[in-house]
């Protein structure tokens, strides 16, 4: 079953179960995918669908930061709940230790020695581990390793 079909089925299931937050979040994700499909002009492949999911998580994470800065804990909590729903459809994220090991291995593989080469490292890691690594963590570990 494709991701779009799974999302559609899960919306129906959430409606039957009365899970309004889940239903609304999945509807927003489906709308974002439909909008992206219209922009592209063709059906989305797996990488494009993953990019839409990652974008949805990122925008909600930014919203949490904004809401907390403005004292709106209720809205921040709602955004966190939406993030949890969306993350259920993302590949499992690597932890800090695994990410650090990926960075070290890629540095050794590419033979990098300078911070000037961080862009090359980031591009290679993000291409190989699309959706499974946190870019900020990769950048943090890369900066430590490429001193």
Radius of gyration of the chain (CA): 18
Mean pLDDT, residues 108-131 taken together: 84
Question: How far apart are the C-alpha atoms of 115 and 113, rounded to whole Å?
Answer: 7
Same domain, 25 and 65: yes
Mean pLDDT, residues 71-83 taken together: 96
Per-residue pLDDT, 146: 78
What pTM, to 2 d.p., does this model score? 0.76
Same domain, 53 and 22: yes
Place of tokens 């974008």: 55
Mean pLDDT, residues 110-116 taken together: 83
Q: What is the pLDDT of residues 18-27, one digit of tens each?
A: 999 999 999 9
How far from 68 is each of 12, 57, 78, CA to CA, in Å?
Answer: 32, 17, 12
**Residue 131 clears pLDDT 80, i.e. is over it:** no
Check residues 77 and 128 and name the one with the higher pLDDT. Answer: 77
Round the average pLDDT of the chain to a whole number and report it: 90
Q: Dig out the tokens for 68 from the structure.
A: 């907390």
Structural domains counted in the chain = 2
Pick the last residue of a domain from 87, 105, 120.
87
Check residues 16 and 101 and name the one with the higher pLDDT. Answer: 16
Per-residue pLDDT, 115: 84
Q: Are the beta carbons of 134 and 100 closer than 8 angstroms? A: no
Same domain, 137 and 113: yes
Please report, rounded to a whole number, the percentage of residues in the chain having pLDDT higher than 90. 51
Same domain, 17 and 81: yes
Domain that holds residue 81: 3-87
Per-residue pLDDT, 87: 92
**Res. 135 pLDDT band, cuts 50 70 90:** confident
Estimate to the nearest angstrom the gap between the alpha carbon of 100 and the chain centroid: 18
Same domain, 83 and 107: no
Task: Tell which residue, 53, 38, 41, 39, has the closest CA to residue 3.
Answer: 53
Question: How far apart are the C-alpha atoms of 144 and 52, rounded to whole Å?
Answer: 30
**Residue 93 clears pLDDT 80, i.e. is over it:** yes
Q: Which helix (H) or strand (E) holds 55?
A: helix 46-69
């Amino acid at each position: 079953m494709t991701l779009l079909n799974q999302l559609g089925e899960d919306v129906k299931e959430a409606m039957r179960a009365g899970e309004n937050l889940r239903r609304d979040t999945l509807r927003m994700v489906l709308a974002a995918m439909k909008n992206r499909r219209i922009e592209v002009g063709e059906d989305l492949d797996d990488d494009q669908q993953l990019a839409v999911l990652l974008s949805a998580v990122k925008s909600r994470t930014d919203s949490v930061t904004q809401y907390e800065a403005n004292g709106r804990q209720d809205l921040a909590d709602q955004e966190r709940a939406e993030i949890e729903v969306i993350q259920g459809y993302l590949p499992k994220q690597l932890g800090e230790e695994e990410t650090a090991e990926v960075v070290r291995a890629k540095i050794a593989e590419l033979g990098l020695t300078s911070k000037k080469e961080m862009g090359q490292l980031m591009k290679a890691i993000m291409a190989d581990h699309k959706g499974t690594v946190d870019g900020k963590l990769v950048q943090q570990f890369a900066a430590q390793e490429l001193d």
